[in-house]
């Protein structure tokens, strides 16, 4: 029964959540089940991995023979943060942006509800959806790892996933903020995705180029741990930065949304 905007939003996202979960489950299972083969193949290559170019992708990990190094290369250096970012942007830009574009907000906001409540319920639903998908991914690694008897600290793998999720949320928060200003989902997706790409390039180039090294701190990817949380645990200062930025953009987005004109059906 639809009694809350939160439940209606989750209902709207249900098919998307299902397909994301299936995709992430397959990715997780494929990755973990392939590890024993990859471990044996790459064990001999470890001496070559000191090349700085490799570090763009591998960060501090040079040993693909370990589950941490393998997951870092295969997932947490590039694939996982990219998926987390895309997922967050897609979910967050639709919360206000798509509803407004379709003309649904006009009638919904004629109900005796504060605009902030409408926005908050939608944000909480999107956060839950993203959390469910990341949890499904963690479960696939855990179940797959148990199936092929890979010994690993799965709680720390969970922290690496959490780190990726938090990075993604910053860009999701940015997309929400932009739609909160009144721009459409297209603009929000473009700016958020473009900025994520720019940040990634700054970090990637900064790793291999001394000239660009000082600029790395301006990239959010600099504060993203990649596979490091599997070894060192989560850097809570960096995680707090992600959470703080996300909350800031969501809160400012809601404050502006409260005060601005609602656009007619696009």
Binding site for another protein (CB under 8 A): 1-5, 8, 12, 102-104, 106-115, 258-262, 264-265
Q: Which is nearer to another protein, 68 or 121 (CB)?
A: 121
Distance in Å, CB of 8 to another protein, minimum:
6
3-state secondary structure of 94: helix
Distance in Å, CB of 250 to another protein, minimum:
18
Distance in Å, CB of 91 to another protein, minimum:
17
Please state, in angstroms and as integers, the Cα–Cα distance from residue 46 to each residue in 71, 157, 225, following that order.
Answer: 15, 22, 21
Q: Which is nearer to another protein, 60 or 101 (CB)?
A: 101
Q: Which is nearer to another protein, 111 or 237 (CB)?
A: 111
Distance in Å, CB of 120 to another protein, minimum:
14
Distance in Å, CB of 10 to another protein, minimum:
13
Q: Which is nearer to another protein, 107 or 237 (CB)?
A: 107
Distance in Å, CB of 30 to another protein, minimum:
32
Q: Are 42 and 67 in contact (CB under 8 A)?
A: no
For helices 154-181 and 236-259, the axis angle rounded to 10 degrees is: 20
3-state secondary structure of 6: helix
Q: Which is nearer to another protein, 185 or 226 (CB)?
A: 185
| Structure tokens belonging to residue 178 | 């932009």
Q: Which is nearer to another protein, 114 or 186 (CB)?
A: 114
Q: Which is nearer to another protein, 209 or 258 (CB)?
A: 258
Distance in Å, CB of 124 to another protein, minimum:
16
Contacts of residue 233, defined as CB under 8 A and 6 or more positions apart, other chains included, come to 156, 159
3-state secondary structure of 204: helix
Q: Which residue has the tokens 């008897």?
A: 149
Q: Residue 70 CA to chain centroid, in angstroms?
A: 20
Q: Where are the alpha helices (DSSP H) in the chain?
A: 5-42, 52-58, 67-71, 79-93, 99-101, 104-108, 115-147, 154-181, 185-208, 229-232, 236-259
């Amino acid at each position: 029964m639809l009694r809350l905007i939160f439940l209606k939003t989750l209902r709207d996202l249900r098919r998307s959540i299902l397909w994301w979960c299936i995709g992430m489950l397959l990715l997780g299972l494929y990755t973990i089940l392939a590890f024993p083969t990859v471990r044996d193949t790459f064990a001999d290559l470890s001496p070559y991995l000191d090349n700085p170019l490799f570090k763009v992708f591998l960060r501090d990990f040079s040993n693909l023979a370990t589950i941490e190094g393998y997951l870092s290369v295969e997932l947490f250096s590039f694939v996982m943060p990219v998926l987390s970012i895309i997922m967050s942007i897609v979910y967050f830009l639709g919360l206000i942006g798509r509803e407004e574009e379709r003309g649904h907000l006009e009638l919904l906001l004629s109900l005796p509800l504060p605009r902030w409540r409408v926005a908050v319920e939608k944000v909480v639903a999107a956060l839950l959806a993203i959390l469910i998908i990341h949890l499904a991914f963690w479960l696939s690694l855990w179940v797959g790892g148990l199936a092929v008897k890979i010994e690993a600290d799965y709680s720390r793998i969970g922290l690496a996933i959490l780190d990726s999720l938090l990075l993604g949320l910053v860009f999701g928060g940015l997309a929400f903020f932009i739609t909160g200003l009144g721009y459409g989902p297209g603009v929000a997706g473009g700016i958020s995705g473009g900025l994520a790409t720019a940040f990634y390039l700054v970090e990637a180039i900064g790793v291999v180029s001394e000239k660009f090294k000082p600029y790395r701190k301006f990239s959010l990817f600099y504060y993203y741990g990649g596979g490091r949380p599997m070894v060192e645990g989560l850097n809570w200062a960096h995680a707090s930065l992600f959470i703080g930025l996300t909350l800031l953009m969501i809160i400012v987005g809601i404050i502006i949304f409260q005060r601005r004109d609602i656009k007619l059906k696009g």
